[in-house]
Amino acid sequence: MNALPINLFFVISIFHASTKLHALNIATSVETLNFTNALALSCEGNFDEAEHFFVSIPQESPHYAASVHSMGNLATIKGNLILSGMYHSIAKMHDPQAKPPLALMYLENNPCYSIGDIFWTSSFTKKKVYEIFFEDSWKDHRDLLNFHTIEDLVPLLNEMELQVLFDAHIGLAIQLEDSGLVEYSMKHFQQAAMIRPQNLDLIVRNAMMVPVIYDSKSELQNIRERLEQNINEILTLLREDKYELDSLNHLSMPGTFYIVYQGYNDKSLMKEIRELYRTIYPRMERVYLSPVEGYELLRDPARSSAGKIRIGFASHYFRKHSVCKLICGLIQNIDRQKFHVTIFSSVKTEDEDEWTHIIRERSDNYIHVKEGMFLKNRNVPFDESLDILVYPDIGMHPGSVMWASSRLAKIQVCFWGHPTTTGLDNMDYFITSDL
């Protein structure tokens, strides 16, 4: 595991950079253009190039404080939390009233290519780091300027300070991964593991994280081989020492989500991944949890449907989405003389649209799983005594895996909203086209 360089002296040099930049006689219009370009590049996820433009803004510019705030946002995303707090400090000293523009864009409902929420979160993170490390205790943290890696820093900090960094890394890692910025997510998970090296959740997570983009086919092959080796090593460890996780808090969107797009036969690998989940968290396969765990059996789940075949569909995407475009027409046209149709939808109320309303109208029983598909509510489809339960998109959303890991209907079917093997023993059929 490679430690990440910190190099805080780069921040200090910002105070001296204005003289050189002033000598270049950069026009205000050029500064504004550079600043605007930097914001756009940030929204595109091109953080290195955006940082290049932000650094070019001289201290005399009205965009200077906003640029430094933005560099703090980028430092946060790229895994350098101490650096981000330092940037926040510099921006506040220059202009106490200046606000982080990338965070303001999100607040003003600018989509920022769907990563605006990350800039919003990162602004709170760098402010928190500033308050903990720089606002009142700068004299106590002179050594922060001398460390080179997160591992060097850990011995210098007290437990409260370590917890602040750990929580920030975990929160950002999960958010970045769910937004598709896996490269940066991996950095945060790695640094969190350096702070808490005995944390089993992070050992598993780091072992299973893989990049999205590769430089070569050989690198791709090496990563896949390493992934399989990591899984086997952890399985051996778990079986020998009987480790189990108390929760799946740090296992949101699996780090292996993108391997299904690589063109390999993933059957054996996916089965190993599912075996790892079952071993590390045995409750994955249980239908009913105890009252303490979140569910108490209150009634007999037996049902009668006048001889009709009871079929259910469970998805997070019963809205205008590619998954619904694939399967919603099929649902609408199922013969109601033969089938009783139940929909289990975890679409958030604010995300429902006309597609959602049509599916609701065309179902015999529409169940809004408003809190999402979790282990604790896996009784919901089970209590409907289904003959068939169809999962249109296992793997597209973590909740579908939570439900599909157990036997909730007599026959369980996987549709091709996410066209790959699930690796789950409880899947009976995979429905595809002639291709």
Summarize pLDDT for 172-189 with one digit per residue, the tens. 998 898 788 988 999 999
The dihedrals phi and psi of 388, each to the nearest 5 degrees, come to: -135, 135
Domain boundary residue, one of 252, 285, 318: 285
Whether residues 406 and 334 fall in one domain: yes
pLDDT for the residue 147:
62
Give per-residue pLDDT as tens, 218-250: 999 999 999 999 999 888 888 877 777 776 655
Same domain, 261 and 158: no
Are 351 and 425 in a shared domain? yes
Provide the residue type at 347 as one letter: V
141 and 216 part of one domain? no
Is 271 part of a structural domain of the chain?
yes
Q: What is the pLDDT of residue 347?
A: 94
Whether residues 13 and 160 share a domain: the answer is: yes
d(CA 74, CA 122): 8
What is the layout of strands, in order, in the sheet containing 365-368? 365-368, 339-345, 309-315, 388-391, 411-414, 429-430
Residue 399 belongs to domain with CATH number: 3.40.50.11380
**224 and 317 part of one domain:** no
Position 344 in a domain: yes
What's the CA gap between 371 and 368, in Å, rounded?
A: 9
Q: Is residue 290 part of a domain?
A: no
Which tokens is 380 given?
């919901």
pLDDT at 62: 92
The Cα–Cα gap between 288 and 357 comes to 31
* Final residue in a domain of this structure, among 285, 317, 342: 285
Distance CA 126, CA 122 (A): 6
* Rounded alpha-carbon distances, angstroms, from residue 64 to 17, 31, 73, 249, 369: 12, 9, 14, 39, 47
pLDDT of res. 26:
42
Q: Is residue 200 part of a domain?
A: no
Residues 227 and 172 in one domain: no
Does residue 63 lie within any of the structural domains? yes
3-state helix, strand, coil in the chain (%, to 5): 55, 5, 40
Residues 223 and 343 in one domain: no
Q: What is the pLDDT of residues 78-95, one digit of tens each?
A: 999 988 998 998 999 999
Domain presence at residue 197 = no
Do 26 and 162 sit in the same domain of this protein? yes
Mention every residue, 6+ apart, whose C-beta is less than 8 A from residue 7. Answer: 83, 148
| Residue at 191 is within a domain | no
Neighbouring C-alpha atoms within 13 Å toward the C-beta of 350: 1
Q: Which amino acid is at 241?
A: D
Q: Domain of 415? A: 309-430
Domain tally, the chain: 3
Is position 244 within any domain? yes
Are 15 and 151 contained in the same domain? yes
- Give dist(CA 69, CA 65) in Å, integer: 6
How far apart, in whole angstroms, are the C-alpha atoms of residue 432 and residue 88? 52
Yes or no: say if 52 and 74 are a contact pair by the CB < 8 Å rule.
no
Pairing of β 388-391 and β 339-345 = unpaired
Mark whether 423 and 385 lie in a shared domain. yes
User: Average pLDDT of each block of 10 consecutive residues along the chain (435 residues)?
Assistant: 39 38 51 93 94 94 94 95 90 92 86 87 94 70 60 83 93 87 91 90 85 90 92 85 67 69 89 86 73 52 71 96 93 93 95 94 94 86 92 87 88 88 88 73
Residue 18's pLDDT is 38
**Residue partners of 313: CB distance under 8 A and separation at least 6:** 327, 331, 341, 342, 343, 344, 389, 390, 391, 392
At 303, phi and psi to the nearest 5? -135, 160
Scan for tokens 């778990």, then name that residue.
238
pLDDT digits (tens, 9 = 90+) for 352-367: 999 999 999 999 999 9
Q: How far apart are CA 262 and CA 260, in angstroms?
A: 6
What's the length of the chain? 435
Q: How far is CA 222 from the centre of its chain?
A: 24
Same domain, 163 and 46: yes
